Amino acid sequence: EDLINQIKAGEVVERPYNIVKEVVENSIDAGAKNIQIELLDGGKQLIRITDDGCGIPENQILTALERHATSKINKFHDLESLASFGFRGEALPSIASISNFTIRSRPQNQEMGKEININYGNLLSEKEISMPHGTVIQVKDIFTNVPVRLKFLKSTATEFTHIHDFLIAMALANYHISFRFSHNGREVFHYHSKKTLKERFHDIVGVDAKDFVELNYSRGSFNLTGFAGLPKSAKQNPSYFITFVNGRYVKDKIIRSGVLQAYQGLLIKGLIAPAIIFVKVNPSWVDVNAHPSKTEIRFYDPASLQELVSIGIQEAVKDSVH
Ligand code: ADP
Ligand code: MG
């Protein structure tokens, strides 16, 4: 079982970013209003994520740490959302098998919380503690027991950037949640809960927000929202290029090509402007077998998708230029 968890961990966890992704997604699923992410050394030394979500009842914590334990199947009605968010109940046991892992959790209706410490897959301690309601997950010294994987971790700066970019994306998609992020004891950002995507966008982009146009384009089951840089602000190296498909954070070259095509059609060649793009499509357009822990996605008809993204951006940019 321990070995299976470690093998599974290889699929779920490649680097600190994967841990942050799984744990933050759990916090969002738990209905958290406040999520705090603390890192040491790009997450290689420590990742601590604190939420004020629903918590885990004390008699269910150990179960949640077993493979294929998920409390979420009933919450999701279609297989698409199930598959795309990877609700498979493998994240926590995988993470606990390759780290010094501590979970503390307390549902609101429970007086005391429970703390469990697992050291590279071995249960070390289990005790009652007093704590605010919610869940704290602490992951220390990842891959110390898997030297080959430890060797593949990149510099602190690289691991930090992966996590930072992901958290910015999450903060946009979940603007109603407050996100607080610190690295090596220094606060990186603290975004308070907002009522609209636009407000959160302003928090993140600051004064540069005036160089963006809001997107809102629909055709059939295709819907495009978000923000795209205006031509005058287009830079060779966009500081923001964030894409979501059906709520899932992806890095997709089809959408990227669509953006490029839009700007080429409008003005300058070879230029890609900063953009934050939320694409919604009929779930049947997307290959759900793409691995849930990866950020790639496959469309059955990439050409049409690229075209729709391009048109959606062109319309918005054209309107605001003229
Ligand atoms: P999954 O998210 O696929 O269900 P995980 O291994 O990520 O599997 O988590 C296992 C279970 O632990 C979840 O189904 C949920 O019930 C519980 N859980 C994990 N994190 C939290 C959290 N932050 N708040 C409340 N419950 C949580
Ligand atoms: Mg999960």
170 and 224 share a domain? no
pTM of the model: 0.89
Let me know: does 94 contact 68? Beta carbons within 8 Å. Answer: no
19 Cβ below 6 A of ligand 1 = no
Question: Is residue 201 one of the residues assigned to a domain?
Answer: no
Question: Is residue 199 one of the residues assigned to a domain?
Answer: no
Question: Is residue 8 one of the residues assigned to a domain?
Answer: yes
In three-state secondary structure terms, 239 is: coil
Does the pLDDT value for residue 307 go beyond 80? Answer: yes
* Residue 59 Cα to ligand 1 middle (Å): 14
* Residue 81 Cα to ligand 2 middle (Å): 13
Let me know: does 67 contact 8? Beta carbons within 8 Å. Answer: yes
- Write a three-state SS string for 116-157: EEEECCEEEEEEEECCCCEEEEEEECCCCCCHHHHHCCCCHH
Does the pLDDT value for residue 75 go beyond 80? Answer: no
269: CATH: 3.30.230.10
185 and 210 share a domain? no
| Ligand 1 atom nearest to CA at 53 | 24
Q: 147 or 80: whose pLDDT is higher?
A: 147
51 Cβ below 6 A of ligand 1 = yes
**Domain membership of residue 148 as a residue range:** 2-191
133 Cβ below 6 A of ligand 1 = no
Question: Is residue 287 one of the residues assigned to a domain?
Answer: yes
The string over 154-179, giving b where at least 16 C-beta atoms fall within 10 Å of a residue's C-beta and e elsewhere, is eebeebbebbbbbbbbbbbbbbebbb
175 and 223 share a domain? no
Measure the CA–CA gap between 12 and 73, rounded to whole angstroms: 19
pLDDT tens across 177-223, in order?
999 999 999 999 999 999 999 999 999 998 888 888 999 999 999 99
* Beta-carbon count within 10 A of 306 CB: 22
* Residue 214 Cα to ligand 1 middle (Å): 35
134 and 92 share a domain? yes
72 Cβ below 6 A of ligand 1 = yes
Quote the tokens at residue 77.
Answer: 């009605």
pLDDT band for position 309 (50/70/90)?
Answer: very high
Does the pLDDT value for residue 140 go beyond 90? Answer: yes
212 and 256 share a domain? yes
Mean pLDDT of the 70-87 span: 52
Question: Is residue 217 one of the residues assigned to a domain?
Answer: yes
pLDDT at 83: 46
**Number of domains within the chain:** 2
Last residue of a domain, one of 191, 215, 232: 191
State CA 167 to chain mean position distance: 6
* Residue 26 Cα to ligand 2 middle (Å): 5
| Least confident segment among 99-113, 124-138, 249-263 | 249-263
pLDDT tens across 33-65, in order?
999 999 999 999 999 999 999 999 999 999 989
Question: Is residue 307 one of the residues assigned to a domain?
Answer: yes
Mean pLDDT for the chain? 87
Last residue of a domain, one of 161, 191, 221: 191
pLDDT band for position 266 (50/70/90)?
Answer: confident
Let me know: does 262 contact 231? Beta carbons within 8 Å. Answer: no
Whether ipTM tops 0.90, in short, is yes
Last residue of a domain, one of 191, 218, 245: 191
| Ligand 1 atom nearest to CA at 137 | 23
- Sign of the dihedral defined by the CA atoms of residues 9, 12, 16, 21, in that order: negative
